[in-house]
Amino acid sequence: MVNALSQDAIRSLACVALEEIQRTVEDMTVEYDDDYAIFVLHGRKYKVGNLRLANRSLTEAVTAVIDFFTTSLTDAIFHIVKEELPGVTVDPSLHGQLQYHYAGRSFTISDTWIHVWTKESIARRIIGYFRYNMPLERL
Amino acid sequence: MERRIADSVADILLVELQDKLDGITLVRVETGVSFRYNEMRYNISARLLETHSVSFMVERIQHFFTP
């Protein structure tokens, strides 16, 4: 792949991508070095190379960043919970929520939680609810 | 998302093309955008702006106006 674009154009593409991503993941920021735009959310980083920004569609870059910070995180939460609560299941909803089911009970976490709290914190809350029957307001 | 990205990509394309094609202009149309240069027009749909790379489109437009 050849990058025929100026550095200004690459940065403009990254800025547009950031604005679009922030519609889904509000706290996202972006940093730059010579070869990458680095998308950062609460310390986690995802690099998108300049070549990729120049030679792939902007839509693809936006989708990749959002998927990294949402899908991979929700998977990680599920694996932590599953270790503690074998048999737990989770259903993704259409509205960015995840509904956990265990022993006939259900617990819903919103998309907002995923962007505000760490995966360990969310997993502890889910486990606490199912294992110790902790009321939601104490979680 | 399509139209927002398409409009932003068109603006970036225009800046890149202005370095290569002095006097090129951009007009937004219902289906996308229209680049104009030396009384020629090159239309690009919003869908194409959304799904193709900027490098690809810069080369394609430049080649169209200066074959």
pLDDT at A95: 57
Query: CB distance A58–B5 less than 8 Å?
Result: yes
Which residues, in sequence order, are CB contacts of A128 under 8 Å at separation 6+? A134, A139
DSSP state of A138: G
Q: Is the full-model pTM beyond 0.80? A: no
Q: List the one residue out of B2, B7, B11, B13 whose CA is nearest residue B57.
A: B13
Give tens-digit pLDDT for B8-62.
999 999 999 999 999 999 999 999 999 999 999 999 999 999 999 999 999 999 9
Could you list the beta-strand ranges (E) of A28-136.
29-32, 36-41, 44-49, 89-92, 98-102, 105-109
What is the Cα–Cα distance from B34 to B10, expressed in whole angstroms?
A: 9
DSSP state of A87: T
pLDDT along chain A (139 residues), means of 10: 76 93 90 90 86 91 86 83 92 71 88 73 89 64
Q: What are phi and psi of A119, to 5 degrees?
A: -65, -35
Q: List the one residue out of A87, A94, A85, A90 whose CA is nearest residue A75.
A: A90
pLDDT at A133: 78
Note the ipTM here.
0.84
Which residues of chain B neighbour A58 with C-beta distances below 8 Å?
5, 8-9, 50, 54
Query: CB distance A6–B5 less than 8 Å?
Result: no
∠ CA A113-A118-A119 to the nearest 5 degrees? 90
Query: CB distance B12–A55 less than 8 Å?
Result: no
pLDDT at A91: 83
Q: Is the sign of the CA dihedral B56, B60, B66, B67 positive or negative?
A: positive
What type of residue sits at position A113? W
Kindly give the interhelix angle for B54-65 and B2-20, rounded to the nearest 10 degrees. 50
